[in-house]
Amino acid sequence: MSELHSLLDQLAALHLPTVDPDECADEELLAGMPVLQSGLNQLSALLTRCVAVADRRGAQRADGMASMKSWLTGHCRLAGRDAAALIRDGRRLAQLPALASAYSAGEVSATHVGVVTAAVTPARVAVAAANGIDLLTTDQVLTAAARALGPEDTAKAVRHWVAGIDPDGALDDAAGLPRVFRMAVSANGRVYLSGHTDAVGGDMLHAALEAVMNGHRPAGDRRSHGERMGDALVELARQALHDGGLPQVRGERPQVRVSIDLMALCAERAAVGVVGGELLFAGPITPETARRLACDAGVVRIITGPDGLPVDVGREQRTATAAIRRATEERDRHCVFAGCTAPPAWCDVHHPWHWAYGGPTSLDNSALLCERHHTCCHEGGFTVARDPGTAVWHTYRPDGSEVRIRGASP
């Protein structure tokens, strides 16, 4: 340990903490980062070896600790998960000398080591030995992969090894993996999604999302990949709800339900003091969002008494009949927002003059807008207008200026 302290003292003598990256040239930054990463890898490897030796000797008992994990969490302030991974790496690297050597040389990172050691379990090592598979050869192959590839691709190579030496076990692991999906509404109204699935389920979901993402992407679309994936997920749900093929829920087809006071629905845009609507799951929304949803939806009138309890429920009225929608699709062909060509199946029937303000439900007062641009026209303040007697639509920004398609003649 005195040699280690001496090494750390030498590093401190270099005054590394005083180095200001802002004062370094780009060449210096790019040349220095791999060196720093290699040094971190070497220090991590040394820590792992120290933990392995201390764990083997039971050194933690000198401090009254029952396990090496508890010692690491208490004295090194590691998270329990990180401490357990460190102990696992130290134990299993003893059987993987090539990987241990590459780690000590700074050629692979702790993440590389983790994906290998997590898979090389004692049970799998025993299965490999029973089938005549040399662990040292496996060690060399996986180490070569770790040296050449990133952690994600190294993990793929490891999974191929697992499938090869223990196909039944890999099959059991996949069969026993639950598919979990959670939705939670935050205090600010955002809905957060989390979960995991098995490989096949993940591929099915990815294929479906990719089809929606690549089926339509307007020129000039600057959304990130994650944003496009999020929009595609919502579009999949919207199409499933619209097609009517989902099972009924409590005796009726599944649908997005929003409640809003009639006066709030009919209030002017951005009117102060107007209470918005309420979604059944996600909670409060603005009146303008409620108006967007009401553009192409079934509307049920519910009259409430002074105490707020319903006293009368009227029949559902469709704001756009099937005939009006068909005629609108025939005329517009796609989303009418400037530059967008989203197909009719992805569009709502928008009322340029909203019916809550007295606008008629008619072909002349209907426009196809995809979900994204329907939102722009309500929450974003954009508007669309059609030349009378033609199928030519114009899009206007909130400031009144017209959005023109790039390359089009004025």
* Residue 248, domain member (yes or no): no
Judgement on whether residues 232 and 193 belong to the same structural domain of the protein: yes
* Residue 252, domain member (yes or no): no
Judgement on whether residues 167 and 28 belong to the same structural domain of the protein: yes
**What's the alpha-carbon Rg for the chain, to the nearest Å?**
31
Judgement on whether residues 9 and 147 belong to the same structural domain of the protein: yes
Judgement on whether residues 263 and 320 belong to the same structural domain of the protein: yes
pLDDT tens, residue by residue, 9-24: 665 555 455 568 888 8
* Residue 27, domain member (yes or no): yes
Judgement on whether residues 226 and 168 belong to the same structural domain of the protein: no
Mean local confidence (pLDDT), 384-409: 84
Of 175, 198, 215, the one marking the end of a domain is: 175
Of 130, 160, 175, the one marking the end of a domain is: 175
Q: Residue 224 burial by CB count (10 A; 0-12/13-18/19+): exposed, middle or buried?
A: exposed
Q: Enumerate residues 6+ apart whose C-beta is below 8 A from 251.
A: none
Judgement on whether residues 133 and 10 belong to the same structural domain of the protein: yes
Q: Which residue has the higher pLDDT, 239 or 218?
A: 239
Q: Residue 184 burial by CB count (10 A; 0-12/13-18/19+): exposed, middle or buried?
A: exposed
Model pTM above 0.85: no
pLDDT tens, residue by residue, 244-276: 788 876 566 777 877 777 777 777 766 666 667
Judgement on whether residues 117 and 206 belong to the same structural domain of the protein: no
**Residue 171 above 50 pLDDT?**
no
Mean local confidence (pLDDT), 166-195: 76
* Residue 250, domain member (yes or no): no
Judgement on whether residues 235 and 353 belong to the same structural domain of the protein: no
Of 175, 197, 222, the one marking the end of a domain is: 175
**Residue 208 above 80 pLDDT?**
yes
Judgement on whether residues 16 and 143 belong to the same structural domain of the protein: yes
Q: Which residue has the higher pLDDT, 295 or 313?
A: 295
Please report, for residues 2, 6, 24, 30, 112, the alpha-carbon distance to residue 11 in angstroms, rounded to integers and kept in the order given. 14, 9, 19, 20, 26
Tell me the C-alpha distance between 401 and 243, whole Å: 37
Percent of the chain with pLDDT over 70: 83
pLDDT tens, residue by residue, 65-111: 889 999 999 899 999 999 999 999 999 999 999 999 999 999 999 99
Mean local confidence (pLDDT), 108-121: 94
Among 125-134, 174-183, 334-343, the range scoring the smallest mean pLDDT is 174-183
Q: pLDDT value at position 11?
A: 57
Q: How far is CA 7 from its chain centroid?
A: 43
> In terms of Cα–Cα distance, which of 295, 308, 304, 408 is closest to 361?
295
Mean local confidence (pLDDT), 148-165: 88
Q: pLDDT value at position 314?
A: 59
Judgement on whether residues 234 and 339 belong to the same structural domain of the protein: no
**Residue 193 confidence class, pLDDT cut points 50, 70, 90:** very high
Judgement on whether residues 166 and 209 belong to the same structural domain of the protein: no
Q: How many domains does the chain have?
A: 3
* Residue 142, domain member (yes or no): yes
> In terms of Cα–Cα distance, which of 96, 92, 152, 98 is closest to 123?
92
pLDDT tens, residue by residue, 344-386: 888 989 999 888 788 888 888 999 999 889 999 998 999 999 9
Structural domain for 218, as ranges: 180-243
Q: pLDDT value at position 272?
A: 62
Judgement on whether residues 303 and 396 belong to the same structural domain of the protein: yes
Q: pLDDT value at position 205?
A: 94
* Residue 251, domain member (yes or no): no
Q: pLDDT value at position 23?
A: 87
Farthest-apart Cα atoms in the chain, separation: 90
pLDDT tens, residue by residue, 226-250: 999 999 999 899 888 888 788 876 5
Tell me the C-alpha distance between 118 and 82, whole Å: 13
Mean local confidence (pLDDT), 31-59: 92
